[in-house]
Structure 1
Amino acid sequence: MSVVVSIALSVAAAAVVMALTAVVARRQGRVAVVDVAWGVAFAGAALVCGAGAAVAEVGTPWRTALLAALVVLWGARLAWHIGRRTAAHRGEDPRYEKLLGGTLAEVGMARAVRKVFALQGAIVPVIALPVSVGTVLSVRWVPVVVAGVVVWAVGLFFEAVGDAQLAAYRSRPREERPQVLDTGLWAWTRHPNYFGDACVWWGLWLAGGLASGWVAGLATLVAPLAMTWFLSEATGAKLIEQTMMRRPGYPAYAARTARFVPRPPRRA
Structure 2
Amino acid sequence: MPVHALDSFYLSITLLVTVAFQLSGFAIAYTFQFDKITDLTGGSNFFILALFTLLAGETYHARNIVASVLVMCWAVRIAGFLFFRVLKTGHDGRFDKIRNNFFQFLGFWIAQILWVWIVSLPVIILNSPAISDVQHGGSNPAFGTSRDIAGIVLWALGFVIEATADAQKYRYKSSKTTPKDRPISSGLWAWSRHPPYFGEMMCWLGIWILCLSPTTNGSVSSSARAAQYGAIVSPIFTFIVLMFGSGVPYSAKPQAKRFYLMAYGPDAGQEGPLVWENYKEYLRRTSILIPLPPVVYKRLPGIVKTLLLDFSMYRFDEVRDGRLAIEEAAS
Bin the TM-score by the shorter chain: 0.7 to 0.9
CA distance in 2, matches of 1:172, 1:253: 20
Report the counterpart of residue 71 of structure 1 in structure 2. 71
Ranges in structure 1 where 5+ consecutive residues have no aligned partner: none
Equivalent position amino acid for 1:171 in 2 = S
2:279 pairs with 237, 242, 250, which one?
Answer: 250
**Which position in structure 2 is the counterpart of 1:112?**
105
Alpha-carbon offset, residue 206 of structure 1: 0.5
Letter in 2 for 1:132: I
User: Which amino acid is 1:78 matched to?
Assistant: I
The alpha-carbon distance between structure 1 residues 216 and 143, as it changes in their structure 2 partners (threshold 3 A), is farther
What is the identity percentage for the equivalent residue pairs of Structure 1 and Structure 2? 23
2:198 matched to 1:206? Answer: no
Distance in 1, Cα, partners of 2:62 & 2:191: 36
Classify 1:151/1:175 alpha carbon distance in 2 versus 1 (closer, same or farther; 3 Å).
closer
Counterpart contact for 2:119–2:233, Cα < 8 Å: yes
2:90 aligned with 1:90 = yes
**SS of 1:104 mapped into structure 2:** coil
Report the equivalent of 2:125: 133
- Taking the TM superposition and a 5 Å limit, the aligned residue runs for 1:226-265 are 226-246=237-257, 247=259, 248=275, 249-265=278-294
Contact 2:172 2:178 in 1 (8 A): no
Distance 1:231 1:32 in 2: 22
Go from structure 1 to structure 2 and tell me whether the alpha carbon gap of 1:140 and 1:251 turns closer, same or farther (over 3 Å shift).
farther
What is the match of residue 223 of structure 1? 234
CA offset at residue 125 of structure 1? 1.5
Letter in 2 for 1:44: I
Q: Which has the higher contact order (CA 8 A, sep 6+)?
A: 1
Asked whether the 8 Å contact 1:169–1:177 carries over to 2, the reply is no
Displacement of 1:65: 1.3
Q: CA deviation at 1:216?
A: 4.3
Q: Deviations over 1:228-264 (max 9, x none)?
A: 1111221101220011123243332121011011111
Distance 1:134 1:243, change over 3 A: same
- Give 5+ residue unaligned stretches, structure 2: 136-140, 260-274, 299-331
Give me the whole-angstrom Cα distance separating, in 1, the residues matched to 2:13 and 2:68.
14
Q: 1:243 and 1:83 mapped to 2: Cα distance?
A: 23
SS of the aligned residue for 2:10 comes to: helix
Q: Which has the higher helix share?
A: 1
Residue identity matched to 1:265: P
Q: TM-score, normalised by structure 2?
A: 0.70
The number of equivalent residue pairs is: 256
> TM-score under structure 1 normalisation?
0.85
CA contact (8 A) 1:144 1:211 kept: no
Within-5 A mapping of 1:42-81? 42-54=46-58, 57=59, 61-81=61-81
Aligned-residue offset at 1:88: 2.2
2:172 to 169, 172, 187: 169
Hey, what's the Cα distance between the residues in 2 that align with 1:8 and 1:232? 28
